[in-house]
Amino acid sequence: MLQSRVIMLPHGPNRPLTRSERSTLVGFSVVLFGLFAADVAVDYSPAKLSILFFISAWFPLMVVHESGHALTAALLGWRVKRVVIGFGRTLMQFELKKTPVEIRMIPLEGFTSIAPRNLQAPRLKSFLIYFAGPGAEIIVLLLLVVATGIDTLLTRTESVPIIAAQAAAVAIILGLFSNLIPHAGDTQNGRSPNDGLGMILSLSLNRKQIREWAEEDGDDSPEGSNPSTATSRP
């Protein structure tokens, strides 16, 4: 299930894809891109590339989104424990500023695991971390508007670069729409709030809840840490 890009819950296990899942994914991808290539070859027009640009924008926007959460958490003094892009089998692992980063096989969702180092203004910090993912993409959208002009971005064109910018803008807007309308989705850990609902719930947190999370997490710091923050992109 495609969910909103930010869900503050412990993430599930790194389960590798089964043979059936891999076959289904490969078969679906081959058919999809085969039909797309055939359609473009038979009756080419630059506008048809918008689908390809839309799909291509998905991974970079996910990186932007997760980076927004991670950077905001770090700036607010919370520890970034782990960042994961995608799901399924892990393809690449590395560290960035001592934070483990994983790139997985299917780049459709991901998460950022965090831990607060103090209990100062936890509601505000939780709210800001939830908002930071969509906020980072809003910045990208504004940069596209500045670079192309709002009129150009909303006008039909045969210019491939403009079409690419339009497709990226549509991907951002659809993601923001899904992210910021409060709702919860089913995960391996139960029902999880999206960004919009997470921001609302952040404002109702109390110190007792924060301290309980800190105790459950088992961090070595005096104030402990809260549960992991899982994030995904619709």
Local confidence pLDDT in tens for the 234 residues of the chain = 323 333 343 333 344 555 665 666 677 677 767 767 776 677 778 888 888 898 889 899 999 999 999 999 999 988 888 898 887 788 889 998 889 999 988 777 778 887 777 778 888 998 999 899 999 999 999 999 999 999 999 999 999 999 999 999 999 999 898 888 888 766 555 567 778 888 998 888 777 777 766 565 544 333 333 334 444 455
- Assess contact for 228 and 234: CB atoms under 8 A: no
Q: What is the pTM of this model?
A: 0.78
Q: Which residue, 140, 174, 145, is CA-closest to 162? A: 145
- Please classify residue 65 by burial: count the beta carbons closer than 10 Å to its beta carbon, then call 0-12 exposed, 13-18 middle and 19+ buried: buried
The Cα–Cα gap between 88 and 224 comes to 30
Neighbouring C-beta atoms of residue 20, cutoff 10 Å: 8
Q: Compute φ and ψ for 143, nearest 5 degrees.
A: -65, -40
Structure confidence at residue 111 (pLDDT): 82
